[in-house]
Amino acid sequence: MTDDSSIKFTVPLIRWQGDRGTYHLVSIKGADAETIAMHARIDRLEFGNRRGFGSVKVMARIGETEWKSSVFPQEKSTEWILLVSKKVMKAEGLAMDDEVAVGLDLI
């Protein structure tokens, strides 16, 4: 992959309580969010349609754990969300508010 399609950042792990359960996630903002938004716009121009909920496919990495997922836009694409499963949290020994180094390859 090219450097344009890979981003790395460190953010706290957030717990969000929803109607259907508790979710753990990381929030992507700033220049990294702009990179994802631009990737989404280019993808729409190239393929002509939006993915479900405006999501962007990614290969995500935290520590030694890598998985295929999607990031989801919030607030007009100025923030993106990556859900972190219990399986990933357990494999990497993560807890709420831990600083998490995340790598994303935009697909």
Q: Is 54 within 8 Å of 72 (Cβ atoms)?
A: yes
Q: Identify which of 4, 105, 25 has the alpha carbon closest to the alpha carbon of residue 57.
A: 105
Q: Where do the structural domains in the chain lie, given as residue ranges?
A: 3-106
Per-residue pLDDT of 63-77, as tens digits, reads: 999 999 999 999 776
Q: Is 6 within 8 Å of 32 (Cβ atoms)?
A: no
| Sign for the pseudo-dihedral over CA of 29, 32, 36, 38 | positive
- Report whether pLDDT(2) > 60: no
- Report whether pLDDT(9) > 90: yes
Dihedral, 56, 61, 66, 67 alpha carbons, nearest 10? -20
Residue 50: predicted pLDDT: 66
Per-residue pLDDT of 47-66, as tens digits, reads: 777 667 889 999 999 999 99
- Report residue 21's pLDDT band, with 50, 70 and 90 as the boundaries: very high
- The amino acid occupying position 101 is A
CATH of 3-106 among 2.40.30.100, 3.90.76.10, 3.40.50.10860, 3.30.470.20: 2.40.30.100
